[in-house]
Structure formats: structure tokens, C-alpha cells
Amino acid sequence: MRFFYALFVLTLWAGSIIAQKPQAPAQIQPTGFSPEDFHPAVDLRRATQPRFTAPFPAQTLPALQPPASTGYMQVVARDERGLPIFVKGQLPRDVRREEVETQAMYFLQMNAERMGTTDPETEFVLQKRNTDELGMEHLRYKQFYQGVPVYASELVLHAREGEVFAMNGRYLPTPSGLSVQPQITLESALSLARHAVEAYTAFSPANLPDYLREEDEAELVIFAPQIYLPKGATSMQDESAPLLCWKIELSPNALERYVFFVDAQSGALLHSYKRSCSFLPKGIYELPDAEEEPAGNKQSCSVSRSPSALLPPGPVTAMATDLKGITRTLHVYELSGTYYMIDASRDMYSAAASNLPDEPAGVIWTLNAQNTNPQNGNFTVSHVTTGNNQWNNPTSVSAHYNAETSFEYYFNKFGRNSINGQGGNVISLINVSETDGSGMDNAFWSGTAMFYGNGNQAFTAPLCKSLDVGGHEMSHGVIGSTANLIYEAQSGALNESFADVFGVMIDPTNWLLGEDVVNTAIFPSGALRDMSNPHNGGSGPNDPSWQPAHMNEYQNLPVNAQNDNGGVHLNSGIPNKAFYLFATSVGNSKAEQVYYRALTQYLTASSQFIDCRLAVIQAAEDLYGAGSSEANA
């Protein structure tokens, strides 16, 4: 009976196709797509058509695909607002003949109603288009409202063999009645942000070297925290209603970067967070900072500079012992009889753009902070040098080795040319202290460089002793240059997790992080984090070594500085465990390729855990095929 019923339905479906014009099979709902997930192949550039309804329940229909001439759309996943965050489909045949950018806009138009966007052609502006190693194209769009960018709103459309087939990302349904004319001046907003920074950190002198400087930025944005933050993360009375804000990014010193959202109508500070990425949640195990000098007593930052070259320069190799007592081969630079810890041996090095040794371009460069802190007026950076190519500073050797090894990992595995993918400098600073001169109990990616402390309480050795620490910090830079995951809540936990993922892939001896440097009195397991077992010997959130391993252990922490931006170092245990399970199923070499592809081609700044899962599955399908063991792992 089922066969005959299916045959009857098939006959009805075929008859309806014959009886109608080719572009309008409007009364039949294909199996596998609910009514809201199927749109007809009308030309949305000329007309808006009503949705179709199915004449009988979708689950009773045979598995049929719509005719190729009509196209279809399927929502793979929705966010907590009910909005599609991953859509797959096929465009109408005539549209598939168009250029990819035209197809992408048509794809957006076909999904506009379910997305709640009124005019995709003006709201979504192409920011980047790239072709990957498989020949697939990926187009990244940023959302705008009346010419103002929507913060954290980004969509990526994907094309295979010249045909757009998928879209993913997070966005804002088109606002209604929102004014984009600010009542608060930029100067007032900047003043408020600077006062907020001064409450808990210090501004460094203005003559900070360019290679450690990130310029301050300010722009008007539409701020809609519901795109990526949990409820209650901001001081907004109604977080479901987007507001016009001044987004201000300040780097008060070489180590820190802060982001502020100031209501452009009322002048209220709605939200802020620290963007600098650390290996350990800052402040949890550290000694209190010493009382700072009054601002008027601050001295200028000094940067030791070297004499001009007198003899022909050149890259050379060196053999040196690191903090583990292992002899490493390093690449350094000889100039006028002095050897600098500058690796200019890579293809990315630009002699024409360099003024060595102080202004290199395209190098791996290790510097000495001489036990000073960027927040203090005496912050000093100097070259690491020797007169005979004999290196007796194992801390600098470890840091330089970490950077070279991490660079080679990304270049050899993925063809990535440095942190920014464009041959930019890779800079490491050793001997960074706390503001009171004690050893800094952490390592940081500042946005421009890696900063290594020498340990204090949580760590018993300079953090650069551990290769996975160096790989972790450099990976933060790669993340910032690709998906640029916002360093708060779930997107921030993903930022930390991907840094851990590539940290352990760069140092693949085990699934531990920081095992070479942690204080076992604080971390009895002997590691800061364990990707194979995020509980790591702890019994709950009050144990410093513990992380959640599953979503049923997720910690809903306030999104503020006191709670590590919503627990970015804590909740990263969940995606960490997911990677471990995936890698042990398919092997490290396949897992790292899938995750790098997910990071660079699918994730966006506001991605959440579910977005990561979808990105990993799609990346695995791209590389190994739909239904493959890798995609099903």
C-alpha cells in the first residue's frame, strides 16, 4: 500500500509540473524541506512572491528533489532567536549561470524573508572574496543599516564549481525606526572611554615603537548584543533593541586593548571588554599590582637602537641551548659583527622595506623587555644580541625557537605566510614583568606581539619554555587575522579553544597545555589544561585546573573582566574536548586541516559553539565528502 500511495503522490506531483508553467511548481512541497524552508524560483530582483504551502504533510511524501530549474533552500540550523545561521540550497538554473557575486546576492534575497532583512542588496556589502586550495570561493559580507555597520554581523557565502550553495553567519533583522544621527560627539565618547581605561590601567608614553603599537579606532556602529552575547551581558535596558553607538578601541599601552560601546544618543557606557588574549585568566593567581606612579611622574618609553650597518649583513644559523636544555638550530642575523635574534631567512623577508636591525620587514624577531612592564613609564625594549654567535640566554632561545617552529607549522601545514597571512613580522618579547617588577605570571598576545612573563605563582619557569604556550599565543594572532572571534562569552571561548587546538598541534607530544611550566601546587595534574580530560584533576569550577567537558557543565558567568569576559578560558574546555574526540577518531593530520578550514573559511567574529560544530562538519565535507567518516566523526 505504501508503494501505491507513493506512486499516487508522485503522479500528482508530476501532473502538477506538466500543468503549470515551468517556473511555478507552486503547490507541491518537496520531501525533506518544511514549508518555511522552501521558496520558489521566482526572480526576487523583480517581485516578491508569497511562500508556498504543502497540500499534505511533508513526512508522507516520497523523497523528491525539486526540478533543477526552480532551486531550493534548506535551513540547516537556527539560533536562539529562530533566525537561520546556516542555509544550504541550489539557485535556479538561470541564476547559476551568473557571476558568483550576483549569485550570492540572489541567495541572500531568496532568504531575506526568513532572515527578516528588507533589502539585502544595500544591507550586505562584500568585504572579502577568496578562492581556497579546493577551488571553492568564499565571499564575506558585512551588514550595514543606512550606511552604518552592524557590529558582529557577518555572513559568508560559499560557491563550489562556480555555483553558490551555502550561507552561514549571524546578523540582525533590519531595524525599524532607528536613527543613525548621533547626539553625542565623538570627542565626548572618547573622553568617557579614556576615563574608563584610566580607572584600572595606565597609558604608556606616546613614543611607543611602531611595531608594538595598535592605533586607536572609533566609528559609529549599530550595537545589537543579541547577535552574540547572552542576556544581561550589557547595561542596556532592552537588549533586543539595537542602538546606535560609538565603538571605541583604545590601546593604552603595548600590552592591552580595550573596546567600548557608548550610546550615541544618551552618552551612556553600555558595554566594554578587554580584547588582549592571555594564556591564563589574568588576575586569578597573580600578586596584586604595586601602586602606580601618578601620571605626571611617568617617564618616556625607551627603545634601545643599534648603530647603522658598516659591513654587508646576512642571515646565519646558530646552535643554542633552550630552557629545556635542548640544543636548537636557530636563524639569526649578522650585522657589522653583531648577531641579532632576527630571522630574516624566510621568503617573506623584504630587504627593500627593512632598515635593519631596528625596522625589519618580514622577520621573526625576539626582543628583551628587561624586566619592565608596558604599563610603566620605564618600559624598555632592546635587541637580543651576541658578538660571536654564541647564545647564553636560554629564555631568548626558547622564545625564538617557539616562534620559528610555530611559523613553520602554519606555513608547511596550510601554506600560511606568517600570522597575518601576508608576511608580517612575528615578534616575541621576553622578560616582561608585572608593574611592581615581579615576574609576570602569564603570556599574552597583544594584537601585535607575543609577551612572555617569567612566572610567579601559577608558573615556576618562564612561559616561553613551553612550546605549546608559544603556539597558543601565536595562534591568537592567526585567529585575529581570520575569523577574528570576539573575545567574550562563547565566541571568546572558541578563540581560546582554537588557540589551544593549534598549540597542541604545534607541540603534538600530548594533549596538555603548559605542562612544562605550571606550578603543581596549584595545578596538581601537572598541566594548565588537558584537552583529553578538561576536568584535569579538578572536581568543579572552584578548582583552578577544572574546565567543563560538556554543554551540561557550561558555566553561565557574567560577561565582565572579573569573570574572564564570561569565562573564555573556562568554557573553552567544551570545544577542546570536541576537538580531542574528533582528532582521535580521524587522526591529527586530518583534524587540523578540518579545523583550520573551519576557522578561515566558515567561522565569523560572532560564531557560537553551534556555529563551530556546523563549520567543522562543512569543512570535513569539503575536504573528504558528504557522508564520509570524517564528516560523520
Whether a cis peptide bond, with omega within 30° of 0, leads into 357 is: yes
Answer with the residue of higher pLDDT: 211 or 267.
Answer: 267
Ranges 61-75, 153-167, 592-606: which has the least confidence: 61-75
Residue 19 pLDDT class (50, 70, 90 cuts): very low
Confidence of residue 15 (pLDDT cuts 50, 70, 90): very low
Average pLDDT estimate for 101-112: 97
Give this prediction's pTM: 0.86
Catalytic residue numbers, as ranges: 473, 569
Q: Which residues of 198-213 are buried (b: 16+ CB within 10 A; e: fewer)?
A: eeebbbbeeebeebbb
Check if the beta carbon of residue 589 is closer than 8 Å to that of residue 256: no
pLDDT value of residue 271 = 96
Residue 59 has pLDDT above 70, yes or no: no
SS3 state of residue 219 = strand
Is residue 41 within 8 A of residue 70, CB to CB? The reply is yes
In the prediction, which pLDDT does 338 show? 97
Cβ 197 vs Cβ 206: under 8 Å: no
pLDDT at 206: 62
Looking at residue 305, what is its pLDDT?
43
* Domains (range + CATH), the chain: 2-169 (no CATH), 186-275 (no CATH), 288-467 (3.10.170.10), 485-633 (1.10.390.10)
Give pLDDT tens digits for 378-394: 899 999 999 999 999 99
Grid coordinates 545589537 are at which residue? Answer: 224
C-alpha cell at 133: 586550495
Closest CA to 226 of 243, 237, 240: 240
Q: What is the pLDDT of residue 312?
A: 55
Predicted local distance difference test score (pLDDT) of residue 51? 28
Q: How confident is the model at residue 69 (pLDDT cuts 50, 70, 90)?
A: low
> If you average pLDDT over residues 350-356, what whole number do you get?
96
Count of residues in the chain: 633
Flag whether pLDDT at 60 surpasses 70: no
pLDDT tier at 199 (50, 70, 90 boundaries)? confident
Does position 395 have pLDDT exceeding 50, yes or no? Answer: yes
Contact 217, 248 (CB under 8 A): yes
Mean pLDDT of 584-599: 98
**Considering only CA atoms, which of 529, 516, 526 is closest in space to residue 323?**
516
State the pLDDT at residue 281. 82
Q: Which segment of 59-68, 147-156, 267-276, 512-521 scores lowest on mean pLDDT?
A: 59-68
| Confidence check: pLDDT of 33 > 90 | no
pLDDT at 53: 29
Among 53-67, 191-205, 408-422, whose mean pLDDT is lowest?
A: 53-67
Closest of 21, 115, 28, 116 to residue 72, by C-alpha: 28
- Residue 224 makes CB contacts below 8 A (sequence gap 6+) with 150, 151, 152, 153, 172, 242, 243
Grid coordinates belonging to 169: 553567519
Query: 230-263: per-residue pLDDT in tens?
Result: 999 999 988 999 999 999 999 999 989 999 999 9
Q: In this structure, what C-alpha cell is assigned to residue 205?
A: 608614553
Q: What mean pLDDT comes out for the span 407-428?
A: 98
What number is the average pLDDT over the span 314-330? Answer: 97
Q: Is the pLDDT of residue 604 over 90?
A: yes
pLDDT band at 473 (very low <50, low <70, confident <90, very high): very high
Residues 171 and 83 sit within 8 Å (Cβ to Cβ): yes
Query: Which of 83-97, 104-118, 208-222, 331-345 has the weakest average pLDDT?
Result: 208-222
Q: Which of 76-90, 301-315, 570-584 has the lowest mean pLDDT?
A: 301-315
Exposed, middle or buried: residue 302 (CB in 10 Å: 0-12, 13-18, 19+)? middle
pLDDT at 285 over 60: no
